[in-house]
A and B are shown apart, each in its own frame.
Chain A
Amino acid sequence: MDDHWSVAAHRHFKAAGVRQVAYVPDGGLTKLIERCREDNAIETVMCATEEEGIGLAAGAWLGGQKAAVLMQSSGVGNTVNAIASLVTSAQFPFFAIVTMRGQWGEGNPWQVPMGQAVAPVLEAIGVKVFQADTAEDVGAMVEAGLRMAYSGDQAVAVLVSQRVIGSKVWVADKKEGAQ
């Protein structure tokens, strides 16, 4: 049986009644995105930039549906005004999963500044941040986070540590797209 954290995350999406999932692809999100795309009860919306996912989630809630937004840590920087001015201003429930770069074992210096800023930036704009350092944490935090978002009327982000995802190793002659 597949014990990847995405299995538990998807199961909790189903249990909580998540109907729309917005995403910008990230290597760390590949399995969860695939799982959601294969699920006919979930509408997946591929976004060109992470900010779009915030608007989509708010629109879904206005229409009576729960949403989740999936993004890489760099994408958090693209969402700041939408979260602050829409989610926080109008007190929308909100749930996101952020796969982290720029922390544990990062080999690309360009990922570090935004990765390090994710938690303080989200907290500064009113988002409750859960940091998952193990695969087991992710499932439990997705379950708790969805409840806090959609029963507790909060904005919640689960940050999936690079320790869980694994850091990319940069080799000069490695083919692009190889894992």
Chain B
Amino acid sequence: MTDFVLHRREILATALADRGDALVVTGLGSSTWDLASLGDRPENFYLWGAMGNSAMIGLGLAIAQPERRVVVVTGDGEMLMGLTSFTTIGARRPSNLAICVLDNERYTETGRQPTATGLGTDLAAVAKACGFPKTATIRTEAEAGQLGDLLLRTPGPVMAVAKVVDEQLPMAVPPRDGGYLKTRFRIGLLGEKAATLP
């Protein structure tokens, strides 16, 4: 077992403390609970399913909103399922997109089975090999201090992988009605008229 020191919700809270008008998409499971634990807001789009799709939702959003920062927060299992998206994002290279993988090397929700990130796969290295201009693997408190800059200000696409403690945390449950989350997000971003009229 590894000796990780970083706690996922602590580093995420610090990194996103000054998120401003950044738009945040989460991968299903722990990452959704993590973001919800920081406070629910319309600019959060939480996945409750569709494993493997968070990064591409981030790409579509980043292309549609080039003036806004788009941050995808997900786990190692969800990211591994969407690994092909690294090639697509690396080819398109949106400068306003950052992906944060909270990597505990576990499929947390299904019984904490090991993932490939603990058995050889280096997600930051994969992203780098696919053309991401900025990649980092964060293991220490000092390195975690850079996470906010990486996610919110560094020209992207950014892949920031934070190795985090495998821990049991209380579920923080955001709204789960997908239609509501989608429309609330659009109203927050586009205004009610543009978001709801054809």
Residues of A within 8 A of B (CB): 19-20, 43, 45-49, 51-65, 67, 81-82, 85-86, 89-92, 150-151
Contacts and interface: CB of A to CB of B under 8 A. Distances in A.
Contacts of B47: 86
Given A48-B88, A55-B60, A59-B57, A85 B182 contact: no
Contacts of B56: 47, 52-56, 59
Given A59-B63, A65-B60, A86-B50, 14 more contacts: A48-B87, A52-B84, A52-B85, A55-B57, A58-B60, A60-B60, A61-B60, A62-B23, A62-B182, A63-B189, A67-B60, A81-B51, A82-B52, A89-B178
A51 B57 CA distance: 11
A124 to B, nearest CB: 17
Contact of A85 (B49, B186, B190, B194): B49
A63 B88 CA distance: 19
Contacts of A19: 64
Interface of B: 23, 25, 45, 47-65, 82, 84-85, 87-88, 91-92, 178-179, 181-182, 185-186, 189-190, 194-195, 198
Given A58-B53, A65-B63, A67-B60, A91 B178 contact: yes
B51 to A, nearest CB: 8
A168 B141 CA distance: 59
B91 A46 contact: yes
B185 A82 contact: no
Contacts of A150: 198
A150 B198 CA distance: 7
B88 A45 contact: yes
25 contacts: A45-B88, A47-B56, A51-B52, A52-B84, A52-B85, A55-B53, A55-B60, A55-B85, A56-B59, A57-B60, A58-B53, A59-B25, A59-B56, A59-B62, A61-B182, A62-B57, A62-B60, A62-B185, A63-B23, A63-B61, A86-B47, A86-B178, A89-B50, A91-B179, A91-B182
Contact of A82 (B53, B55, B63, B87): B53
B63 A51 contact: no
Q: Which 9 pairs across A and B sit closest by C-beta, in order of nearness?
A: A59-B60, A63-B64, A90-B178, A55-B56, A55-B53, A85-B49, A86-B50, A59-B57, A48-B84
Contacts of B88: 45-48, 52
B6 to A, nearest CB: 28
Contacts of A54: 53, 56
A75 to B, nearest CB: 13
A26 B52 CA distance: 24
A86 B53 contact: yes
B63 A151 contact: no
Q: Which of A19, A51, A58, A61 has most chain B Cβ within 10 Å?
A: A58
